[in-house]
Chain A
Amino acid sequence: MGENSFAHRKYTYFHDQKYPCEAIDIHHIEVQSNGAKGVFVSLLAAIVVGNALYLVLVKEKSVTLLFSSFLLWAFLRKLLLGKPVKKESVVIMPTLGVQLETLYLSGRIMRQFVPVSKILKPVLQECVTPVTCYWSLSLVMREEEELAPVFKELRPPLKMLVPVWKALCAATDEGSSHSCTEDGGNAEDGVQSEKNP
């Protein structure tokens, strides 16, 4: 079998279909790094540090200016480039649980395993911040107050979250007979979404 995938802006979604779904179900969301932004940030670094060096060496200003310029550059870099994430994956093992992986650009991998008995329900919800509003997929956990986000660093679009949500619902609903799409519970939790054809 192969894998199916589609892309939207800087995100690409992959669904591994190498193994049977009942045993293990893997979804990846990858980020394309923006080349132009990297060039811009390097240019900015050159300007800021160069300016600081000029002021220190030629105009005889204090060396703390050099340090503060480094700090400024680090702050601007963080602001513009954001988090250095390459890929986030969700590995669903229906009888065992869900493994959430984050692969960073540096090669570091962060993993979190959530046993299936702890998951009450996966929910799609809209998160509102003072400047924006985005969709996020989270797991409602038993005996815990906080929701566990599935994609910790990335904010993929809704159409990539929906297949992962459906797969999670199917995996966590294995015992009960009613299907995931009929969610008649609290409207705030999981809204049944019907897309326009």
Chain B
Amino acid sequence: MMDGLIGDRERHRILMVSDFFYPNFGGVESHIYCLSQCLLKLGHKVVVMTHVYGNRSGVRYMTNGLKVYYIPWRPFLMQNTLPTIYGTLPIIRTILIRERITLVHGHSAFSTLCHEALIHARTMGYKVIFTDHSLYGFADVGSIHMNKVLQFTLADVSQAICVSHTSKENTVLRSGLPPEKVFVIPNAVDTAMFTPAPENPRSNDEIIIVVISRLVYRKGADLLVEVIPEVCRLYPHVRFVVGGDGPKRVRLEEMREKHFLQDRVEMLGAVPHSRVRSILVSGHIFLNSSLTEAFCIAILEAASCGLLTVSTRVGGVPEVLPDDMVVLAEPDPVDMVQAIKKAITILPTIDPQDMHKRVKKLYDWHDVARRTEIVYDRAMKCSNQNLLERLSRYLSCGSWAGKLFCLVMIIDFLLFHLLQLVQPAIDIEEVPNMVMSLGEGSTAGDDIPEQSSR
């Protein structure tokens, strides 16, 4: 009975760890969810671990038997669990043993739970993968400390994944990771959900520009405040629809009042994820003014809905769409107005259905899952190292930082062995393989050895 293989490929049992997951909505959250669903379809077993959200605590099951552990550690700042370094060791060990995990995959450098899970998993001898979803600076105090923490976590990671080549460069520079260990696997978009409107909504006199983003500094809300009045002045037939909320919303409201644009700029407030598509298809052009972006899923969603995109040329944005689907500009109001002007002139040549078909061929979550599987296979082939060899990697992180990290890892190692004495692994029962029957008897099968799922 070939329990661990599907065909000739190895079958993995993956633990996804991040502070950011459903019921929160965002790039990282939907990345983890979509990737997990596609990996389940490929026959692997996926378990997600995150912190408690409100009342949502304990074990929950999502579509296709995706098991999620909402561990009862309260978030303390920006959805991050309180970083106690060793506090989460017992629960992580319990989950790793009871689910018979082979591989731990952490997401997002901003997530404290992810960092803790990765270092504990390494102490316990599991193979570890990290996916970085954002670009980060180098200069200010916050960045310096953040980068040091990242350097610590990534000193001993098996493989890493970045969502764009720019992001790979950024991660490698911040963490000192050898570039051979970093793979680039772009995000994808659910093209089945983001489809263009069936009939062309273009009434030849009016052009609608859609903006959907969090209204914060990072996403360029200040640029919008400069650009919108200028465009409205130059083009009387252009209207704006702004979705999203945030601290900068007040500035946009003020701008509306000052230039008397109440009938030309519509503010929708926070938009639930399920309504994003209906707002996108009502427009013709999508405007993205982010000041930094590792990979912009928003413009991909807009392109999938058949909108022409105008975006700032930052981070990984130029890598996302072909040149004829996007008009790029420097993050400067004058340049952006020029770009919008160009977009308006080429708008008649755009066919939304054709754009959607092209995006569908270019981006697919199943493709992302297959490429991630290759990274997992590579990670499993990494050699197991004992504590002393690993400590030498930590020492190279810095003169005082290296010694501090070594101390942290030695204490972690001792605590792990103490835990093995107090609560031996055979006391932790393994979870039996579940078969979820969905009402009418159709089984979204997890695994029964006779089932070939490929």
Contacts and interface: CB of A to CB of B under 8 A. Distances in A.
Interface of A: 9, 125-133, 135, 157-159, 182-184, 187-188, 191-196
Contacts of B61: 187-188, 191
Interface string B425-442: 011010111111111010
B433 A196 contact: yes
B58 A128 contact: yes
Contacts of B87: 130
Contact of B432 (A125, A127, A158, A187): A158
B272 to A, nearest CB: 24
Nearest to A195: B432
B437 A182 contact: yes
Contacts of A129: 72, 91
A9 B72 contact: no
A133 B59 CA distance: 10
Contact of B91 (A131, A135, A182, A188): A131
Given A128-B57, A130-B73, A135 B436 contact: no
A192 B58 contact: no
A188 B72 contact: no
Nearest to A193: B432
Contacts of A182: 437
A103 to B, nearest CB: 23
Contacts of A187: 61, 65, 436
Interface of B: 57-61, 65, 69-73, 87, 90-91, 94-95, 98, 423, 426-427, 429, 431-439, 441, 448-449
Given A132-B94, A133-B94, A194 B58 contact: no
A128 B72 contact: yes
A169 to B, nearest CB: 15
A158 B429 contact: yes
B434 A133 contact: no
B432 A128 contact: no
Dominant secondary structure at the B interface: mixed
A133 B427 contact: no
Contacts of A126: 58-59, 431
Contacts of B431: 126
A81 to B, nearest CB: 14
B92 to A, nearest CB: 10
20 contacts: A9-B427, A125-B59, A126-B59, A126-B431, A127-B58, A128-B71, A129-B72, A130-B72, A131-B90, A131-B91, A132-B94, A133-B69, A133-B91, A133-B94, A133-B95, A188-B59, A193-B432, A194-B448, A195-B432, A195-B433
A192 B432 contact: no
Contact of A192 (B423, B426, B435): B435
Given A194-B448, A195-B432, 7 more contacts: A126-B59, A128-B71, A128-B91, A131-B91, A135-B429, A193-B432, A194-B432
B46 to A, nearest CB: 16
Contacts of B69: 128, 133
B434 A188 contact: no
A130 B434 CA distance: 24
A188 B71 contact: no
Nearest to A181: B437
B39 to A, nearest CB: 19
Nearest to A191: B434
**Which of B58, B95, B435 is most buried by chain A, counting CB atoms within 10 A of its CB?**
B58
Q: Which of A130, A188, A192 has the most CB of B within 10 A?
A: A130
Contacts of A159: 429
Contact of B435 (A128, A131, A194): A194
B429 A157 contact: yes
B45 to A, nearest CB: 13
B429 to A, nearest CB: 5
Given A126-B58, A133-B95, A191 B433 contact: no
A24 B133 CA distance: 59
A127 B69 CA distance: 10
A193 B426 CA distance: 20
Contacts of B437: 182-184, 192
Contacts of A132: 90-91, 94, 423
B436 A191 contact: yes
A131 B72 CA distance: 9
Contacts of A192: 434-437
Contact of A130 (B91, B423, B432): B91
Contacts of A127: 58
B439 A184 contact: yes
B122 to A, nearest CB: 20
